[in-house]
Amino acid sequence: MTMAHETVNEIKPTVPTTAFQILIAISVGHLLNDMIQSLIPSIYPILKASYGLSFAEVGLITLTWQGTASILQPMIGYVTDRKGQPFSLAVGMGFTLTGLLALSQAGSFALILLSVGLIGIGSSIFHPESSRVARMASGGRHGMAQSLFQVGGNIGSAIGPLVAAFVILPGGQGSVAWFALAALAGVLILTRVGFWYRDRRRALKGKLAAVAVSVHPPKKIVLSLVILAALVFSKFLYMASLSNFYTFYLIEHFAVSVRDAQLYLFVFLGAVAAGTIAGGPIGDRVGRRTVIWISILGVLPFSLVLPYANLGWTLVLSMVIGLILSSAFSAIVVFAQELVPNKVGAVSGLFFGFAFGMGGLGATLLGILADHTSIDYVYRVASFLPAVGLLAIFLPQDRRAA
């Protein structure tokens, strides 16, 4: 009997603790990464004027930057799934640092493409591995960890254009080099995370295989991933209509000033950040499927009314939409990770890359539609996109927090 009790005690799992210092560190790293990424469009007017670029060449810069940042992510995640690279986060930020310095001194169109490609590679390395680290540091609170990690990126994307307006636009192309200091800070922070990641992997060596098993059959997994991808498509295409054209819509539809339109945009982005924080912990308690269902389909009544609202209600509705819709992505990522638990890096890279690509593609397609019709028409068409949330009914029930 004593021996039996000793055996039980030996195999009884310990309750994991949440490594908040690591979660905050990768959230700060995400802030720095996405802030730097958002600087690239701000330099387009300078590059176009300095080098006499056409709009097609400006588009090629975007394609190079976003292509490397999105297409490479699942491939890098697949490689690191096979063999973990604890210091790849710091290496990725090193690519970003090199790209920034090169961009600040680039004297030709070819060097500009090379520079933004290096920055894109840095982002493609950062996202899948940092998402894996968030899961490792979560202590089982996977949704909360993903939300905390992702909100850093939301904040970085929001403050990037502001920083660019005060530094890059007055200082010119050479002032981009100042942001290499932010990338250097990122390298130092992520190197510290790398040491924790290495030690954590060593501590868990031999234990991961026992838990990395999906409870769903392969056909169900594939169908669920396709549905999640469709939900990401609808979410980010609709978010592109808001985040990219919101100021134009307010200026054209309500004749507000550029300054006020920018202020309203920051209010909307603040609601997006708040929703990102809330979505993960709520998913831990009530289930990811429920959060996905509510956050995407639940936006539909508000999105359908938005194109016909006055200015006051437009501000209120956009805040509600940003708050609810942004809560979905962390739940989607964690849901996908739990569907394929032995491919966390590849799955994270796939969804972050797909989301990044859909944001860029969505902005392009909606811009073309706006050129041929109007911003008002774009908002009316985009208002139906959250209806894709009906597909969430076909997702399997997911694991809930204990």
In this prediction, residue 356 carries a pLDDT of 67
* Joined tokens for residue 50: 């300095």
What Rg value do the Cα atoms of the chain yield, rounded? 22
The answer to whether residue 8 sits within a structural domain is no
In this prediction, residue 192 carries a pLDDT of 93
Domains identified in the chain, total number: 2
340/56: higher pLDDT: 340
Calculate mean pLDDT across residues 305-333: 89
Distance CA 396, CA 241 (A): 30
Are both 169 and 236 inside the same structural domain?
Answer: no
The answer to whether residue 180 sits within a structural domain is yes
User: Buried b / exposed e across 269-280, counting CB within 10 Å, b at 16+?
Assistant: bbbbbbbbbbbb
Residue 9 has pLDDT above 70, yes or no: no
* Joined tokens for residue 148: 């905390």
Are both 173 and 78 inside the same structural domain?
Answer: yes
In this prediction, residue 275 carries a pLDDT of 82
Are both 304 and 360 inside the same structural domain?
Answer: yes
Task: Please give the model's pTM, rounded to 2 decimal places.
Answer: 0.69
Which residue reads 């509705």 in tokens?
Answer: 317
- Cα 284 → chain centroid: 19
In this prediction, residue 363 carries a pLDDT of 66
Residue 8 CB partners (closer than 8 Å, separation 6+): none
Calculate mean pLDDT across residues 384-401: 80
In this prediction, residue 212 carries a pLDDT of 52
The answer to whether residue 283 sits within a structural domain is yes
In this prediction, residue 13 carries a pLDDT of 45
In this prediction, residue 308 carries a pLDDT of 93
* Joined tokens for residue 196: 């924790």
Largest CA distance in the chain: 84
Residue 171 has pLDDT above 70, yes or no: yes
Are both 234 and 148 inside the same structural domain?
Answer: no
Residue 245 has pLDDT above 60, yes or no: yes
The answer to whether residue 5 sits within a structural domain is no
Which residue reads 């730097």 in tokens?
Answer: 36
CATH of the domain at 272: 1.20.1250.20
DSSP 3-state of 298: coil
Distance CA 105, CA 287 (A): 49
Residue 101 has pLDDT above 80, yes or no: yes
Are both 151 and 227 inside the same structural domain?
Answer: no
Distance CA 247, CA 264 (A): 8
Residue 51 has pLDDT above 60, yes or no: yes
Are both 221 and 185 inside the same structural domain?
Answer: no
Instruction: Answer yes or no: are the C-beta atoms of 30 and 156 closer than 8 Å.
Output: yes
Calculate mean pLDDT across residues 242-252: 78
In this prediction, residue 182 carries a pLDDT of 93
Say what percent of the chain tops pLDDT 90.
Answer: 21
Calculate mean pLDDT across residues 228-255: 81
DSSP result, 299-348 = THHHHHHGGG--HHHHHHHHHHHHHHHTTHHHHHHHHHHHHSTT-HHHHH
Are both 73 and 197 inside the same structural domain?
Answer: yes
CA distances from 64 to 57, 175, 322 (A): 10, 22, 29
Residue 15 has pLDDT above 70, yes or no: no
pLDDT in tens, 114-153: 999 999 899 888 888 888 888 888 887 888 888 888 888 8
The answer to whether residue 210 sits within a structural domain is no
Calculate mean pLDDT across residues 354-379: 76
What domain range includes position 382? 216-396
Q: Which of 155, 178, 204 is the last residue of a domain?
A: 204
Are both 178 and 220 inside the same structural domain?
Answer: no
The answer to whether residue 9 sits within a structural domain is no
Q: Which of 182, 204, 226 is the last residue of a domain?
A: 204
Are both 73 and 115 inside the same structural domain?
Answer: yes
Q: Which residue type sits at 262?
A: Q
Are both 39 and 163 inside the same structural domain?
Answer: yes
The answer to whether residue 1 sits within a structural domain is no
Mean residue pLDDT across the chain: 81
Residue 293 has pLDDT above 60, yes or no: yes
In this prediction, residue 181 carries a pLDDT of 94
Q: How sure is the predictor about 274, in pLDDT bands with cuts at 50, 70 and 90? A: confident
Residue 217 has pLDDT above 50, yes or no: yes
Q: How sure is the predictor about 239, in pLDDT bands with cuts at 50, 70 and 90? A: confident
In this prediction, residue 399 carries a pLDDT of 56
In this prediction, residue 219 carries a pLDDT of 85
Calculate mean pLDDT across residues 186-213: 77
Q: Which of 164, 183, 204 is the last residue of a domain?
A: 204
- Helical residues (DSSP H) of 172-257, grouped into ranges: 180-204, 208-211, 218-243, 246-254
Q: Please report how many Cα atoms fall inside a 13 Å half-sphere around the Cα of residue 142, on the Cβ side.
A: 26
In this prediction, residue 183 carries a pLDDT of 94
Are both 131 and 265 inside the same structural domain?
Answer: no
Q: Which residue type sits at 270?
A: G
The answer to whether residue 255 sits within a structural domain is yes
pLDDT in tens, 70-86: 778 888 877 877 776 78
Distance CA 300, CA 294 (A): 10
Are both 107 and 180 inside the same structural domain?
Answer: yes
DSSP 3-state of 273: helix
